[in-house]
Amino acid sequence: MTTTDMLIDRIKTHRVFDHPLYEHWAAAPPSAEVSGALFHQVQSFCASTRPGGDFPTALRGLGWEEQAVLIEEIVDSESGHGPELATMAGHIVNRTGAQVFDDVYDTERVEEWLKSSSDRLLAGLPGYDLATGLTPQAAAAIEVFRRRFSSDADTTVRNLGTALALEIISNQSLIPGEKRALIDSGHYKADIDEPEMHYMAEHWGDAGAEQQHEANVILAVSSVMDSSNSARIEEGVEDFLESLCALWDVLDAALLASGLRPAA
Ligand SMILES: [Fe+2]
Ligand SMILES: [Fe+2]
């Protein structure tokens, strides 16, 4: 039977775990618009991963009270992270040298501008949706998290696998990758102690939110996984890994690896 350790190993050896997107982002300073387009796609995806939907209730329905509480703790700790991510994105965009925002705490204005950058740079991609500013790959990755609004047993078990992959990737790959690109690269002269970078300070490292999320979800999965449900849990893991990898591939190719820069 598949064990939680085997799933963790699968996640950490998937191509998305060490995706070249992070390295390319860290290698050369993207323009304000390229940074904005990246943040629009990333923040739209991240927003879809925060709501618990019916997932905790559905876990309770299967008799998994402790697991429901562990997932609820993760969901609760996500409150306010949307605006904090927008603030960090606005700050980074300003630090490219273009003083785009007077007020990086104006979430609506920042998010609008990020979307408009995405529209300017990515609207020509096949299937790009002008209403949402989403690439089809972002929409597909978001769709995986819509399953939290279905409460049948099969979907609920599958959602556990998706949650496991989400939290391990967030803690060990995505947040460290963003930190390398946004802070360690020096492109943006951004520091983790700046108030506008609070999102990063809150998520990164041994005391970060993602560390706790990862511990919670590993406990939730390992305490219920058995031979009757492990294949379903594994499917949920794959759904996450494949959909995020496709999103990173298209963003890397369209914005970073190709060296595309917007017209001045
Ligand atoms: Fe968060
Ligand atoms: Fe998380």
pLDDT at 1: 82
Range of the domain at 84: 4-254
Q: Is residue 262 part of a domain?
A: no
As a whole number, mean pLDDT of residues 109-120 equals: 98
Residue 260 lies in a domain: no
Mean pLDDT computed over every residue of the chain: 95
Give pLDDT tens digits for 66-106. Answer: 999 999 999 999 999 999 999 999 999 999 988 999 999 99
Determine the distance separating the centroid of ligand 1 and the alpha carbon of 117, expressed in angstroms: 23
On whether residue 64 sits in a domain, the answer given is: yes
Q: For residue 78, give the ligand nearest its CA.
A: 1
Q: Which ligand is nearest to the CA of 168?
A: 2
What is the tally of structural domains in the chain?
1
pLDDT at residue 263, rounded to an integer: 42
- 39-58 residue pLDDT tens: 999 999 999 999 999 999 99
pLDDT, position 211: 95
pLDDT band at residue 259, thresholds of 50, 70 and 90? low
Average pLDDT in the 3-16 region?
A: 97
pLDDT in tens, 173-204: 999 999 999 999 999 999 999 999 999 999 99
Residue 107 lies in a domain: yes
Whole-prediction pTM = 0.95
Whether the pLDDT of residue 261 is over 70: the answer is: no
Q: pLDDT: is 233 or 261 the higher one?
A: 233
Tell me how far CA of residue 51 lies from CA of 64, 73, 177, 221, 260, in angstroms: 19, 12, 23, 19, 34
| pLDDT > 50? residue 3 | yes
Residue with tokens 């304000």: 32
Residue 128 lies in a domain: yes
- What lies within 8 Å, CB to CB, of 28 at 6+ separation is 187, 259
For residue 243, being part of any structural domain is answered with yes
Assigned domain for 132 exists: yes
Q: Is 104 within 8 Å of 87 (Cβ atoms)?
A: yes
The CA–CA distances, whole Å, from 11 to 14, 40, 182, 209 equal: 5, 25, 24, 19
We report the CATH number of the domain holding residue 113 as: 1.20.910.10
Q: How far apart are CA 2 and CA 56, in angstroms?
A: 24
CA of 1 to the centre of ligand 2 (A): 27
Ligand approaching nearest to the C-alpha of 210: 2
Task: Reduce the DSSP state of residue 186 to 3 states and report it.
Answer: coil
Question: What is the 213 CA–ligand 2 centroid distance (Å)?
Answer: 5
> What's residue 29's pLDDT?
83
- Does 263 reside within a domain? no
- In this prediction, residue 257 carries a pLDDT of 82
